[in-house]
């Protein structure tokens, strides 16, 4: 049985003595042809640092500078020992690839549990916020359905049901505390939670993909800002609903263009509908007929002529009247440069090619 050994020029102490006496642990050297103890040699170390007020533990490999550091993190790279302080807490880092994998689910959170209070998966605040978000989603879905914007039980209501199922799976049920089994994460969900905020940034592109739904829920504003265009493409339709306040669509420059390529456009308001041009004309054109109806009095304009009708009086004011020969100003039919029928079928079939 070997209980110790004496250091010499071949078996050097892991870290310099006596200056690094607070360090203990194991430091190995790479088994190269030259013996591994050269200045350029590489090491692995398991280190306990008992420096007063600055204790730490490290597991480190010089290969791609991969390490796990816990406590008062201080750089230890060679047998010179402690160098510059690098922060407090924990750091798992590498110059190579990194993978964090958990088959049964993963919680990443900044919700505090001082001195490891409660069990490891405890996420009461997170589950509560997710439940509240489900309720908000469901409530506004019901309001949109009541306004006839969405189909009851469909559209956003389906999303709300999926969110509720997800929240239930995250909160979990059952468990056996005395046996070390706790309820959270019934499914292999990845949960990100923060007591302050979550920020994601990249110099490239950011892509979120879901095989089912993507839901955004905010108790405050939801804001989008794009330095170029905001592009939205939906296969089965776009529906927008504001419960309390109105909607505004403003183009700071350029025109506003609204088209229905295969059906009509309906504009309906409980109160007045106003169309105003502040500097130019208002033009209404149709290739078949224009009908204006106000409380039963009407006028119809078509190629067959102009027809007026009223149950009341007819009053005209003019400086003069002139009746000339026939004339017309044919309307120019709008042409669309959209997808051809075959291309539309390709998109509907999910081929992804036009």
pLDDT digits (tens, 9 = 90+) for 295-325: 999 999 999 999 999 999 999 999 999 989 8
Task: With beta carbons less than 8 A apart as the criterion, state whether 169 and 178 touch.
Answer: no
In this structure, what token pair is assigned to residue 98?
């990194």
Mean pLDDT, residues 123-136: 96
Break the chain down into helix, strand, coil percent, rounded to 5: 15, 20, 65
Please state, in angstroms and rounded to a whole number, the distance separating the CA atoms of residues 91 and 71.
9
Strand 289-294 and strand 190-193: the pairing is unpaired
Task: With beta carbons less than 8 A apart as the criterion, state whether 111 and 123 touch.
Answer: yes
Per DSSP, the three-state class of 309 is: strand
pLDDT tens for 131-150 read 999 999 999 999 999 999 99
Q: Tell me which DSSP letter residue 177 carries.
A: G
Token pair 């059906």 is found at 263
Cα torsion 85, 88, 89, 91 to 10°: value is -30
Predicted TM-score (pTM) of the model is 0.82
Indicate the domain borders of the chain. Answer: 23-93, 106-193
Q: Please state which of the ranges 56-70, 234-248, 314-328, 334-348 shows the lowest mean pLDDT.
A: 334-348
Mean pLDDT, residues 17-30: 90
pLDDT tens for 160-193 read 999 999 999 999 998 888 888 999 999 999 999 9
Per DSSP, the three-state class of 299 is: strand
For residue 348, pLDDT beyond 70 = no
Please state, in angstroms and rounded to a whole number, the distance separating the CA atoms of residues 214 and 206.
15
Please state, in angstroms and rounded to a whole number, the distance separating the CA atoms of residues 259 and 263.
9
Please state, in angstroms and rounded to a whole number, the distance separating the CA atoms of residues 336 and 257.
12
Task: With beta carbons less than 8 A apart as the criterion, state whether 331 and 290 touch.
Answer: no
């Amino acid at each position: 049985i070997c209980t110790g050994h004496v250091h010499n020029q071949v078996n050097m102490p892991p870290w310099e003595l006596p200056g690094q006496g607070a360090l203990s642990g194991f430091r190995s050297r790479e088994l190269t042809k030259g013996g591994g103890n050269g200045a350029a040699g590489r090491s692995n170390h398991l280190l306990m640092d008992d420096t007063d007020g600055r204790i730490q533990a490290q597991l480190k490999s010089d290969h791609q500078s991969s390490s796990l550091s816990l406590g008062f993190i201080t750089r230890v790279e060679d047998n010179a020992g402690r160098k510059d302080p690098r922060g407090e807490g924990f750091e798992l880092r590498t110059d190579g690839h990194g993978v964090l994998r958990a088959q049964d689910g993963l919680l990443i959170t900044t919700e505090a549990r001082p001195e490891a209070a409660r069990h490891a998966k405890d996420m009461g605040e997170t589950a509560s916020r997710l439940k509240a978000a489900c309720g908000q989603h469901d409530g506004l879905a019901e309001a949109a359905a009541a306004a006839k914007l969405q189909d009851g039980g469909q559209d956003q209501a389906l999303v709300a049901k999926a969110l509720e199922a997800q929240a239930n799976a995250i909160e979990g049920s059952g468990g056996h505390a005395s046996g070390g089994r706790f309820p959270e994460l019934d499914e292999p969900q990845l949960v990100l939670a923060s007591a302050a905020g979550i920020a994601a940034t990249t110099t490239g592109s950011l892509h979120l993909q879901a095989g089912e739904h993507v839901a955004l829920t905010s108790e405050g504003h939801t804001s989008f800002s794009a330095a170029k265009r905001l592009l939205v493409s939906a296969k089965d339709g776009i529906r927008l609903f504001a419960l309390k306040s109105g909607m505004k669509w403003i183009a700071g420059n350029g025109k506003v263009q609204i088209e229905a390529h295969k059906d009509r456009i309906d504009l309906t308001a409980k109160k007045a509908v106003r169309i105003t041009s502040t500097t130019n004309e208002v033009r209404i054109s149709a290739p078949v007929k224009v009908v204006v109806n106000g409380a039963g009095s009407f006028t119809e304009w078509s190629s067959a002529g102009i027809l007026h009708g009223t149950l009341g009086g007819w009053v005209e004011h003019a400086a003069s009247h002139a009746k000339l020969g026939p004339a017309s100003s044919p309307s120019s039919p709008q042409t669309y440069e959209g997808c051809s029928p075959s291309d539309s079928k390709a998109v509907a079939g999910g081929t992804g090619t036009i």
